[in-house]
Amino acid sequence: MTLVEPLYAEILRRNRGEHEFHQAVREVLETLDPVLERRPELVDARIVERLCEPERQIAFRVPWTDDSGDIHVNRGFRVEFSSVLGPYKGGLRFHPSVNLGIVKFLGFEQIFKNALTGMPIGGGKGGADFDPKGRSDAEIMRFCQSFMTELHRHIGEYTDVPAGDIGVGGREIGYLFGQYRRITNRHESGVLTGKGVTWGGSQARTEATGYGCVLFTAEMLRSRGESLDGQTLAVSGSGNVAIYAIEKAQQLGATVVTCSDSDGYVVDEKGIDLALLKEIKEVRRGRISEYAERRGARFVPGTAEAVRVFQEAGVAFAPGKAANAGGVATSALEMQQNASRDSWTFAYTEERLARIMRHIHDSCYATAERYGAPGNYVVGANIAGFELVADAMLAQGLI
C-alpha cells in the first residue's frame, strides 16, 4: 500500500486505540493501490481521506432500570459514515464488546457492502454496549425504549435507516419502532428495516442474509463450472444467518454437516436436522450442545486452526462485505416497498435477492479481472465498492 501508507499513518494518529477500525481501514486500503495509480483524480480529490472520516458520529447515554428496580447506564452509538449513495443504512448491535472503534469498523465496511448491492443506500452502523443475555422481555423493551428516546432525533427515512445486527432481531426492532412512532407521532415505516411483515416488514428479510450467502457461494461455484448440488458443506454459527444458510444450501441439494455456537460445534454426518435446530435456537433460545445430545452427533470445542487449514488448501474466499450483503440488500427492498406502500410476495422478493447476489458476484469477479487479480474476491469487492462511492463523491463536490 505505497500510495496510501502516509494516509494510514495519519488515520492511526487521529483515531488512537480504535484497533478494529484501523484493521478495517488497512484491509481496504491494502487493495486500493491499483485503482489510485490508474485514477490520479481520486488522489487529488482526497477521496480516501474523506471516506475514512465519518460524516457524523453520535454517542449517547442510555439509562434503564432492570426488573428489580436497579438502574443501569449503557453507552449508545450511531456512526453515520457516508450518505453519498443514499440515506445512512446499517444495523444496530447490542453486545458488551461494542465501543466507538468497533462501530466505526463496522460502519466503514458497511459503506462498501451497501455500495456493492447496487441499491441507493449509504453506510452507517450503531449499537450499544448492552448485554441482552439473560435479560427478560420487559428489560429488553425498556432498554430499547430508552435507546430510541435519544436515537429518534438522528434518524428518518431520508436520513438514516437502522436495522438489526447481533443482539438486535425482530423483537427489538418492534420495540424500537414502537417508541419512534410514539415520540414522533408518525407511522414512518421506512425509518427502520427488519420490521414484522404485518406492519411494513418485507417477506424474506429474515432469511435474506443466510440465503444471500449461499446464493453468493453458488455463484462462485458457477464461475468454476460447478454447483452446490451433491456437495458436503460445513456451516459455522447457529443463529439467524446460519439457520437460513443451511436452509438454502439444503434446498440447493447440499448436505450440511456442521454448525456451531460460542461453546463449540456439532458434526452430524447424516446432515443437520434443520427443524430440530430451529426449535432449539429460534423457539427455546437454547445452546447447540442440546442438538448434539438429541441427535447423538459429535460436539467438539472450536479452534482457530480451521482458518489456517482452509487458507493452506487454497479454498475460494468470499469477503463478508460481499457474501453477507443479502441482508442489507433486502432491507433496501423493504425500503422500496415502504416508499411505495406496497408489499411483495416471498417468491418475488427472493427472486430480487438472487438477482442482487448475482450482480454483486459478477461485479466483484469482473473488477478483480480488470485490476489484474483474477479470482480474488477481496480485491474485487473492495475496488468495486470503492469506485462506486468515489465516483459519486467526485460528482457531488467537496462535502
Task: Summarize as ranges the residues that interact with ligand GLU (CB under 6 A).
Answer: 89-91, 163-165, 193, 327-328, 331
Closest separation in Å from C-beta 381 to ligand GLU = 14
CA distance 363 to 322: 10
Dig out the grid coordinates for 33 from the structure: 493501490
Closest separation in Å from C-beta 335 to ligand GLU = 9
Rg (CA), the chain: 21
Contact 125, 101 (CB under 8 A): no
Q: Identify which of residues 212 and 266 has a Cβ nearer to ligand GLU in the complex.
A: 212
Catalytic residue from among 104, 125, 195, 248:
125
Closest separation in Å from C-beta 295 to ligand GLU = 30
Closest separation in Å from C-beta 308 to ligand GLU = 26
Closest separation in Å from C-beta 114 to ligand GLU = 8
Question: Over the chain, what HEC string results?
Answer: CCCCHHHHHHHHHHCCCCHHHHHHHHHHHCCCHHHHHHCHHHHHCCHHHHHCCCCEEEEEEEEEECCCCCEEEEEEEEEEEECCCCCEEEEEEECCCCCHHHHHHHHHHHHHHHHHCCCCCCEEEEEECCCCCCCCHHHHHHHHHHHHHHHHHHCECCCEEEECECCECHHHHHHHHHHHHHHHCCCCHHHCCCCCHHHCCCCCHHHHHHHHHHHHHHHHHHCCCCCCCCCEEECCCCCHHHHHHHHHHHHCCCEEEEEEECCEEEECCCCCCHHHHHHHHHHCCCCHHHHHHHHCCEEECCCCHHHHHHHHCCCCCCCHHHHCHHHHHHHHHHHHHHHCCCCCCHHHHHHHHHHHHHHHHHHHHHHHHHCCCCCCHHHHHHHHHHHHHHHHHHHHCCC
Q: Identify which of residues 241 and 266 has a Cβ nearer to ligand GLU in the complex.
A: 241
Closest separation in Å from C-beta 232 to ligand GLU = 28
Q: Identify which of residues 36 and 356 has a Cβ nearer to ligand GLU in the complex.
A: 356
Q: Identify which of residues 28 and 272 has a Cβ nearer to ligand GLU in the complex.
A: 28
125 is catalytic: yes
Q: Identify which of residues 52 and 173 has a Cβ nearer to ligand GLU in the complex.
A: 173
Closest separation in Å from C-beta 98 to ligand GLU = 13
Q: Identify which of residues 94 and 265 has a Cβ nearer to ligand GLU in the complex.
A: 94
Rounded-to-10 torsion of CA 229, 230, 233, 239: 60
**Minimal CB distance residue for ligand GLU:** 91
Q: Identify which of residues 132 and 164 has a Cβ nearer to ligand GLU in the complex.
A: 164
Measured CA angle at 202 (ends 150, 235), to 5 deg: 95
Which residues are catalytic, by number? 125
